[in-house]
Amino acid sequence: MPFVASPPLPGWLEPALPLTRRAYALERGPDAGRVMHMIDHGQGPPVLLLHGNPTWSFLWREVIRRLPGRRCVAPDLLGFGLSSKLPRSRDHQVERHLAALDELFVALGLAGADAATAPPTNGAGAPREGVLLVGQDWGGPLVVGLAARHPGRVAGLVLGNTSVLVPSRPRGTLFHRFARAPLVSQVAFRLLGFPLRSLHWSQGDPASIRGQVARAYRWPLSRVRDRAGPLGLARMVPSSPDHPSVAALRPGAEWVQAFAGPVHLVWGEKDPILGRALAKHVAALPRAVVTRTQAGHFLQEEVPDLLAAAVQEVGARAEAAAAARV
């Protein structure tokens, strides 16, 4: 099993991330040999938490601290955090990210003992219970895409400030349309590090991403050569019905609308990017529990207690349903 040593953190960042970390060297596909870094903290029923653009697993630290008694796995997508970087923005494709996540999911034993090639090394063992999936921003469509590949392993779902539905006439937001502008988007994203220096403007409370927290988000992409990810994920958002992401996103969208298990939506309504997306998700997922907040896009920094409570609520419902089937 190709688990490798976790990349080190700088001294100023270590106190902010006192969680167990590990890394995995991919063995298959176009990214074979690249390394995926992750938080893999605690033992108990497993929870997979996935970030989006332009963050990394650091985003989930306060949520994980509020989930004692659960095994919390928070990977860094390729191109982000301490995972290997992809050199070009066009390297970021939905299917490519899903393939890497799928391999990691199996390697960690989350796909069940029959699918794992060897037991995980943190002592948790391959779980008999299902996995809770949690996603924000691009983490949402990627976790439901992963669920479509492993439908029997999903115990419940928590989504926050994301979009897991495929619109019939996709256009993207102003942010995503800007990312497609020739030349100017390359200058902004690659040379100037946009939007890493502007994350606080997407918050209900701008002070929630300041100082050392803001520095922690900028640090993994401090070098110009490493900044293909934010532009790549922005361009991965469908801009037309024939955009290559559309077909790749459809299985996850179909899975989530058919999923009969517990779903909880936690939404920051002051999010200037996806705040208004809540209404269409409530309509498409009428059985979901909904928690509305005055947080912004990165609600993990403003309301981690509400996200953790949603995970526990979904977990309790999943466990009750499993007990009723016995």
pLDDT by residue, tens only, the chain of 326 residues: 599 999 999 999 999 999 999 999 999 999 999 999 999 999 999 999 999 999 999 999 999 999 999 999 999 999 999 999 999 999 999 999 999 999 999 999 999 754 443 333 343 443 457 999 999 999 999 999 999 999 999 999 999 999 999 988 898 889 999 999 999 999 999 999 999 999 999 999 999 999 999 999 999 999 999 999 999 999 999 999 999 999 999 999 999 999 999 999 999 999 999 999 999 999 999 999 999 999 999 999 999 999 999 999 999 999 999 888 87
The Cα–Cα gap between 88 and 319 comes to 43
How is residue 189 written in tokens?
């994203």
Q: Please, is 168 exposed, middle or buried when counting C-beta atoms within 10 Å of its C-beta (0-12, 13-18, 19+)?
A: exposed
Instruction: Please name which of 133, 53, 45 lies closest in space to residue 97, comparing C-alpha atoms.
Output: 53
Report, at the CATH architecture level, how domain 3-325 is classified: 3-Layer(aba) Sandwich (3.40)
The partner residues of 263 in beta bridges, in order of sequence, read 157
What is the model's pTM? 0.95
Cis peptide upstream of residue 195 (ω within 30 degrees of 0): yes
Number of other residues whose CB lies within 10 A of the CB of residue 191: 10
Cα 231 to Cα 90, 235, 242: the distances in Å are 9, 6, 20
DSSP secondary structure letters along 237-292: S--STT-HHHHHHHHHHHHHHH--S-EEEEEETT-TTTGGGHHHHHHH-TT-EEEE
Note the pLDDT of residue 125: 41
Q: How many residues does the chain have?
A: 326
The answer to whether the beta carbons of residues 70 and 95 sit under 8 Å apart is no
Local structure of 37: helix, strand or coil: strand
Note the pLDDT of residue 168: 87
Instruction: Please name which of 17, 97, 2 lies closest in space to residue 52, comparing C-alpha atoms.
Output: 97
The partner residues of 265 in beta bridges, in order of sequence, read 159, 290
- CB-side neighbour CA atoms (13 Å) of 46: 25
DSSP secondary structure letters along 55-101: --GGGGHHHHHT-TTSEEEEEPPTTSTTSPPPSSGGG--HHHHHHHH
The Cα–Cα gap between 229 and 221 comes to 9
134: Cα separation from own chain's centroid? 7
Q: 203: which DSSP letter?
A: S
The Cα–Cα gap between 223 and 178 comes to 22
Please, which contacts does 240-247 make with residues 24 or more away whose CB atoms are closer than 8 Å?
240/170, 240/171, 241/168, 241/169, 241/170, 243/170, 244/93, 244/94, 245/93, 245/94, 246/166, 246/170
207: Cα separation from own chain's centroid? 23
The Cα–Cα gap between 269 and 294 comes to 5
Sign of the torsion angle spanned by Cα atoms 269, 274, 280, 283: negative
